[in-house]
Structure 1
Amino acid sequence: ISTTCLHKEVLLQVLLVTSSRRPDSWIVPGGGVEPEEEPSVTATREVLEEAGVIGKLGRSLGVFENTEHKHRTEVYVMIVTEELEEWEDSRSMGRKRQWFTINEALEKLALHKPVQRHYLQQLLRSKLT
């Protein structure tokens, strides 16, 4: 599960977090579904853990298949309404978050997580929320 987080006042900005494996690289926050957990609950939990944000979870952007790594990711849209000063991954691993324009985010993702660019391209093709 991944969540494309949009700024509550500037919907053309998306939130990326630093990668746990490569702290100089930026990725879309997300993670695995716990047993018996609804995907929407996972999306909300993961952005709180990884990015320290709270917001209004919107629609699913769709399910994206990564044939190279043989897994599927459902991606949600969230309008961020609150940013915590400290959060789980900032304390435990020094993870950072940053707002980017969609074009900047596409450039950042091209370097480390090109498959995640599809999430933002789908967002641009559809209504933002």
Structure 2
Amino acid sequence: MKNEYQTLLLDKPFDTVLSEARTAITDNGWLLLHEINPQQILAGHGYIFPKARQLFFFHPQYLYALWQQDAAAVMEAPLKLLLQEITPEQTAARYLDIDTHFSGYTPKINSIVEDIKKQLAPVIARLQ
């Protein structure tokens, strides 16, 4: 199971980080494909859960490039950013390690993975 991820502990309220994450994703050419609200889903089943969001996103350019080089690697799209409220003034942002996430595919995608990391860096930097 590929489960290596990075965690940023941000001294910002959850709603601020969520807004910044949405903007950082779309301002950098990525498509925000879907957003899941676990708190809302679980509340509908009687569970109390802290604020959280899963943001699914990807860039069309990289999706196409992966398809061209190793169609099986498309399985790894979209990328996911998990935001979790730790306290009212602290939020965790978790995201997959890109090298691990795309490991095991043909070496032809290595340059695409490097480009994805470069284009993802400004998104992560805007959250900090």
- Whether these two folds match at TM > 0.5 is no
Which structure has the bigger radius of gyration?
A: 2
Instruction: Answer 1 or 2: which has greater strand percent.
Output: 1
Instruction: Answer 1 or 2: which has greater helix percent.
Output: 2
Normalization by structure 1: what TM-score? 0.29
